[in-house]
C-alpha cells in the first residue's frame, strides 16, 4: 500500500514530466465544464495565463470564428458519445494572431461508465500546417501545369482530349450541336526561318491569347493542338454560328498586324481554319469528327490559305 508521501512525490514527478514537454496537458471536469488543470506552457504559446482558462467558454471563444462552430460541435458530440478524438483549429493568441493547434482528447469514464472528465494535450502544429499548405499549393500548380501548354499558356492536348470527351457525350445525350475549329498558322515554318524561333514563340503566344479572347462564352475552350495548330471547341454551336466564330478568329489575327514577308498567303501572319459541326448520334465516333475538321483545314490550305472552310 502506498503512503501519502509517496503519492505526493509521484504526483509531483508526473506534474514535472507533463510541464517539461512541448505538448500542453489539460483536464476538464465534465460535470462543471471547467478546467481542472492546464499546463503552464499555454502562456508561452498563446500568451494567455493558465489562470485565465476557467471553462470551455474560454476555449471556444479563443478559437478562429471560421473553425469554432464545427470544432465545438464535433468535440461535444464525440465526448458525449465517449469517443476519443482530435481536432485541428486556429487558436487566438493574446496579441491577436492565430496559431494552429491540434487537440488530442481522451474521454475518461467512472466505474459506472459515465463520462467523468476530458483529458488531453494541445500541440502546436503551425509549422506542419504551413508545410501542408505549401504542398497543396504546389500540387495545384503542378496540376495546372500538367494541363497547360508551357509556351502559350492555353490548355494542352491532354486537357483538350478530356474536354472533347465530355462535350461529345453531352452533345450526344442532349441532341445538341457541337462544333470544333481546327486552326493553323499559315506558313509558320517559313516565319520561324525568316524571323527566328524566339520571335516565332512570341508570335504563337500572341495568337493563342487572341484566339482565347474570341472564345468568349463560358464553355468555349481553346487548346494548342500541336505545333502551330490550335483547336477551339464550341459546345451547343451549329455550323453557321461556328463559321461566324471562325471568321472572327481570322479577322482578329489579321488585326494583330504581325509582318510575315515569307508568307505565300499574305504580308501579315494569317490563319487557315477547318470547321466541323455535328449533332452526335450513337453511331458517330469522336475521332471521325476530328478527322473531318482536319480535312476541312487541309482543303483551306489547298485553296490558298488565309480562309475558313466549313
Task: Decide if 228 is catalytic.
Answer: yes
**For strand 271-278 and strand 308-309, is the pairing parallel, antiparallel, or unpaired?**
parallel
Q: Please, is 114 exposed, middle or buried when counting C-beta atoms within 10 Å of its C-beta (0-12, 13-18, 19+)?
A: exposed
The answer for residues whose C-beta is within 8 angstroms of residue 159's C-beta and 6 or more apart is: 147, 148, 223
Find residue 229's DSSP bridge partners: 184, 226
CA 154, CA 137: separation in Å to the nearest integer? 20
Residue among 116, 228, 285, 288 flagged as catalytic: 228
Give the HSE-up count for residue 269: Cα atoms under 13 Å, Cβ half-sphere: 28
The answer for residues whose C-beta is within 8 angstroms of residue 247's C-beta and 6 or more apart is: 308
Q: Is there a contact between 53 and 40 (Cβ–Cβ < 8 Å)?
A: no
CA 205, CA 224: separation in Å to the nearest integer? 11
Q: Is there a contact between 24 and 121 (Cβ–Cβ < 8 Å)?
A: yes
Q: Quick count: other Cβ atoms within 10 Å of Cβ 275? A: 27
Find residue 178's DSSP bridge partners: 235, 278
Q: Is there a contact between 275 and 309 (Cβ–Cβ < 8 Å)?
A: yes
Q: Is there a contact between 224 and 155 (Cβ–Cβ < 8 Å)?
A: yes
CA 229, CA 152: separation in Å to the nearest integer? 12
CA 5, CA 159: separation in Å to the nearest integer? 74
Kindly list the catalytic residues: 228
Amino acid at each position: 500500500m502506498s503512503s501519502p508521501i509517496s503519492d505526493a512525490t509521484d504526483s509531483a514527478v508526473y506534474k514535472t514530466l507533463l510541464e517539461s514537454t512541448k505538448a500542453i496537458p489539460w483536464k476538464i471536469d465534465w460535470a462543471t465544464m471547467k478546467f481542472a488543470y492546464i499546463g503552464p506552457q499555454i502562456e508561452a504559446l498563446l500568451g494567455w495565463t493558465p489562470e485565465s482558462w476557467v471553462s470551455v467558454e474560454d476555449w471556444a471563444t479563443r478559437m478562429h470564428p471560421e473553425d469554432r462552430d464545427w470544432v465545438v460541435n464535433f468535440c461535444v458530440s464525440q465526448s458525449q458519445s465517449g469517443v476519443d478524438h482530435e481536432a485541428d483549429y486556429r487558436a487566438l493568441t493574446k496579441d491577436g494572431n492565430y496559431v494552429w493547434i491540434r487537440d488530442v482528447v481522451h474521454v475518461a469514464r467512472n466505474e459506472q461508465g459515465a463520462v467523468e472528465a476530458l483529458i488531453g494535450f494541445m500541440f502546436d502544429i503551425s509549422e506542419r500546417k504551413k508545410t501542408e499548405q505549401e504542398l497543396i499549393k504546389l500540387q495545384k500548380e503542378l496540376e495546372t501545369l500538367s494541363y497547360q501548354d508551357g509556351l502559350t499558356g492555353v490548355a494542352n492536348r491532354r486537357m483538350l482530349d478530356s474536354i472533347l470527351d465530355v462535350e461529345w457525350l453531352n452533345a450526344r445525350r442532349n441532341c445538341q450541336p457541337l462544333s470544333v475549329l481546327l486552326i493553323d498558322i499559315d506558313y509558320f515554318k517559313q516565319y520561324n526561318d525568316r524571323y527566328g524561333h524566339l520571335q516565332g514563340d512570341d508570335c504563337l503566344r500572341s495568337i493563342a491569347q487572341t484566339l482565347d479572347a474570341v472564345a468568349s462564352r463560358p464553355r468555349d475552350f481553346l487548346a494548342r493542338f500541336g505545333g502551330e495548330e490550335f483547336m477551339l471547341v464550341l459546345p451547343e454551336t451549329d455550323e453557321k454560328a461556328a463559321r461566324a466564330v471562325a471568321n472572327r478568329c481570322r479577322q482578329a489575327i489579321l488585326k494583330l498586324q504581325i509582318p510575315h514577308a515569307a508568307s505565300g498567303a499574305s504580308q501579315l501572319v494569317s490563319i487557315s481554319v477547318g470547321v466541323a459541326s455535328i449533332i452526335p448520334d450513337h453511331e458517330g465516333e469522336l475521332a471521325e469528327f476530328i478527322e473531318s475538321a482536319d480535312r476541312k483545314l487541309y482543303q483551306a490550305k489547298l485553296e490558298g490559305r488565309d480562309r475558313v472552310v466549313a
